[in-house]
Structure 1
Amino acid sequence: MLGLLRLAVIRTALAAALTLSAGVAAAHAHPHVWITATSELVYGPDGALTGVRHSWAFDDMFSTYALQGIETKQKGVYTREELAPLAQTNVESLKEFAFFTFAKAEGKKQKFNDPVDYYLDHNNGVLTLHFFLPLKAPVKSRELAVEVFDPSYFIDFTFADKDPVKLAGAPAGCAFKFERPNDGTATAQRMSEDNFLSGDNSNYGAMFANKIEVKCP
């Protein structure tokens, strides 16, 4: 019954599926949705970080489920307009999960406003969500850290092989380092299993965080 309920929710929206699975310990053991991501850190003219622009390409199975029931003028072709209600459902639901994006400026946590400029597109069977996530207050910082992950590990975020991260409008001299999750190492796997077995599942997915570190002069 639980599997059927989860399937029904997945057909409706990504974040709703997470809500359903959040209380299920078994769901924390491995992901059920896979996302290939790229992220762009966007700076204003004054050199302050204004937010993060994400593009999240969903796996084939999730894309197929999410599109069920959507009416289109041309079979198999989905326009931005036709996908707009689904895009809105997704971005509105992301707030409950902190947008899977966690930022710190010189060690101080930063908060985000709701996503803007969002839309979905569909190409070669893949559904991709694009949106800009603005900071509540733009921040100037010599050291900035951004992590992208799902704390419950219901969703696996894998960044694209080519140009996974970019800086847009960053001040001269700023440079970033991108670190993928250590998911393949014995140490990370052992720590994850220990946390899961001990019942400490609240931030299980942090073991698989994608980390962006920016340093500016």
Structure 2
Amino acid sequence: MALLGAATTGFAASVEAHPHVWATVRSEVVFGPDKEITGVKQAWTFDEFYSAMAVQGLDTNGDGTYARDELEPLAKVNVESLKDFDYFTFIRQEGEEQFLPLKGPEDYWVEYDGTALTLHFTLPLESPLAPGPKGVTLDVYDPSFFVAFGFADKDPVKIDGSAPGCVVKVVASDPEAAEDAKALTESFFSQLGPDSNYGSQFAQTVTVTCGGQ
């Protein structure tokens, strides 16, 4: 049932090369009343193959649809398993090395439209942050590259709340890195340690800047 659980089952062996799961990302940067970032809302839509696998057995009443209460266990186990991986969400002040600490997810749920599964959740920052002209960056990626995250072509990131003078944009990842990864074997990925951070090179970075603070 867990997104990351696939990495330790036969599913990984049934696919020939990394990545094994694809997710389309839509994010909303949440601003509070003081023009400070208080968190980020995430919506991850998974590929059709993973989605079909994840919902197997969850139509408990057999009516052919997947109600929110039927999908609640799936949402819970996913956000709980993602905790050990910082929810694949990395926020920091521009120019700083340390990522900003996040609180646990709020308002999480899963929806399934018959083709694709989407996981929704909100991640609050431990302390609100004013981005200012220096800016804040947001990356969404899996360090192991088991899951390939990519921002949606349409409306990939929005501002939630009142933040006059603030803008967000998505910076594309290096296309050459993705091409190079295609030539790598599964044995290469199996040797990556938990701190390899290999997947960071494929991240599309969101930048948030505010003028006139």
Aligned partner of 1:122 in structure 2 is 112
Partners in 1 of 2:43 and 2:116 — Cα distance? 12
Partners in 1 of 2:68 and 2:127 — Cα distance? 30
Give me the identity figure in percent: 44
Q: Which ranges of structure 2 fall in alignment gaps of 5 or more residues?
A: none
- Give the secondary-structure state (helix, strand or coil) at the position aligned to 2:205: strand
Partners in 2 of 1:122 and 1:190 — Cα distance? 33
Q: Which ranges of structure 1 fall in alignment gaps of 5 or more residues?
A: 1-11
Aligned partner of 2:141 in structure 1 is 149
* Residues 21-53 of structure 1, C-alpha deviations (whole Å, 9 max, x = no match): 8xx9xx9x6200111110110000111101110
Please point out which of 121, 126, 132 is paired with 1:136: 126
Aligned partner of 2:19 in structure 1 is 31
Aligned partner of 1:8 in structure 2 is none
- Please tell me the residue identity of whatever aligns with 2:161: G
- Is 1:92 the counterpart of 2:77? The answer is no
> Residues 14-93 of structure 1: matches in 2 within 5 Å?
14-18=3-7, 20=8, 30-93=18-81
- The alignment's TM-score, normalised by the length of structure 2, stands at 0.83
Change (3 A) 1:50 1:76: same
Please point out which of 194, 197, 211 is paired with 2:205: 211
- Please tell me the residue identity of whatever aligns with 1:167: I
Change (3 A) 1:139 1:153: same
More helix by share: 1
- Is 1:165 the counterpart of 2:154? The answer is no
* Residues 125-149 of structure 1, C-alpha deviations (whole Å, 9 max, x = no match): 2111011011111111221011111
Partners in 1 of 2:207 and 2:174 — Cα distance? 16
- Please tell me the residue identity of whatever aligns with 1:215: T
- Give the secondary-structure state (helix, strand or coil) at the position aligned to 2:18: coil
Change (3 A) 1:212 1:81: same
* Residues 111-162 of structure 1, C-alpha deviations (whole Å, 9 max, x = no match): 1111110000111321110110111111112210111110100001121111
- Give the secondary-structure state (helix, strand or coil) at the position aligned to 1:215: strand
CA RMSD of aligned residues (A): 2.5
Paired residues, what number? 197
Is this contact kept in 1: 2:157–2:169, CA < 8 A? no
Change (3 A) 1:124 1:68: closer
Partners in 1 of 2:182 and 2:123 — Cα distance? 29
Partners in 1 of 2:178 and 2:65 — Cα distance? 42
Partners in 2 of 1:159 and 1:56 — Cα distance? 9
- Give the secondary-structure state (helix, strand or coil) at the position aligned to 1:109: coil
